[in-house]
Structure 1
């Protein structure tokens, strides 16, 4: 993929300090529409800090975040979501006892008028949730199934379906294949491709270099709170990428 035009999301001089600890220092990063950008780095590199600020969970100490060219300051994750940036954390934040459609529409349930009352429009929510799951190529076709009955990969599809329901333009995925087996990891990678195929921009945080090589167009590598590498993934294999993460230097 070739990045063109104005970035859909960019950060300039982004910094975060926690007391005496400089977690992020002067970060510049552009995320272009329709790309999968991987964020990589060792523990303590600044990945989580960057994601927390982009998602609205934390505020920068300095610098700015721009969305479609305009400076924004997210007051909360809900504020970021309302502006088109959805974050799917490792724990997915799903309610296992509830059905798929209830998780997809949680906090934004659809209603219909029944005489003088408004009641939940379960039929429409089930139909729409099933549609989003089908759009992602998920094998789960019954949106009435409880999330507790789903595999790890299937639960990821529910979390992504919720991002589609909010019509998020940018979807941040934090270690989506962590603790998953080989088969489920392959399912999640297919979900990321399907999500990107709908035109969504994906910001992927991952420790798994094989996953990055499989789905990302570009990789930004952080080290000690700074971006040290920003390049296309094309031409790299997982070993070369791992070496770059460890050394902070471009592969030969």
Structure 2
């Protein structure tokens, strides 16, 4: 009776369902039920507790994922903002240097023409090829990937003819020197350095360009100090201090000299050169 009570209350139809069964049939049904129950002999009795525990852990992980997703998006937004600032800095600096480059080259070579060109790497197949090289002064464009910037090209013409625009590798040694000085002066106007050390920058220049470079240095010397070495008289005309370097007994000697002594020195060097 105790075992029957342990079963609890039975459904109302339980008695009617088996009242017509013989004892043999009931034992057979009981045996079948016992065999069915044996299939569940290894039931995990902690399954409910584990389910609750794992459900709580799942909720914690979902919240953590949400936090990480927000942090990830914040990092992406920051990177985009930094890329935007980097792009703006690159394009603004490039435009300033390019304008200075054009103006200074025009001053050094009155009949000439020059431009800086921003080079960019390859882009998507669907993108236009016209945007690979972007000259200054062009229309504003959507913000591209800053990693596509690969360098800066230079095109100049010493005659002013747009059909005669040349790259650096097509110029003579003196022309390359003049273009390099133009670029240095253009950068100096954007981001001045306290002093510049020039070693025989006029060696390959024609006389007219040496005069133009000397005039440029004279105009800029109030903003920075220029230290130059030269064997030409043009740079001496705008200098404020002169030093002579002589080599005696296998030792270099330097001494302050006058402008006249400096001019005599370079003229003597040219005479015996």
TM-score by length of 1: 0.41
- Structure that is richer in strand per residue: 1
Normalized per residue, which structure has more helix?
Answer: 2
Task: Calculate the TM-score normalised by the size of structure 2.
Answer: 0.38
Greater Rg over alpha carbons, structure = 2
Instruction: Report which structure shows greater RCO (CA 8 Å, sep ≥6).
Output: 1
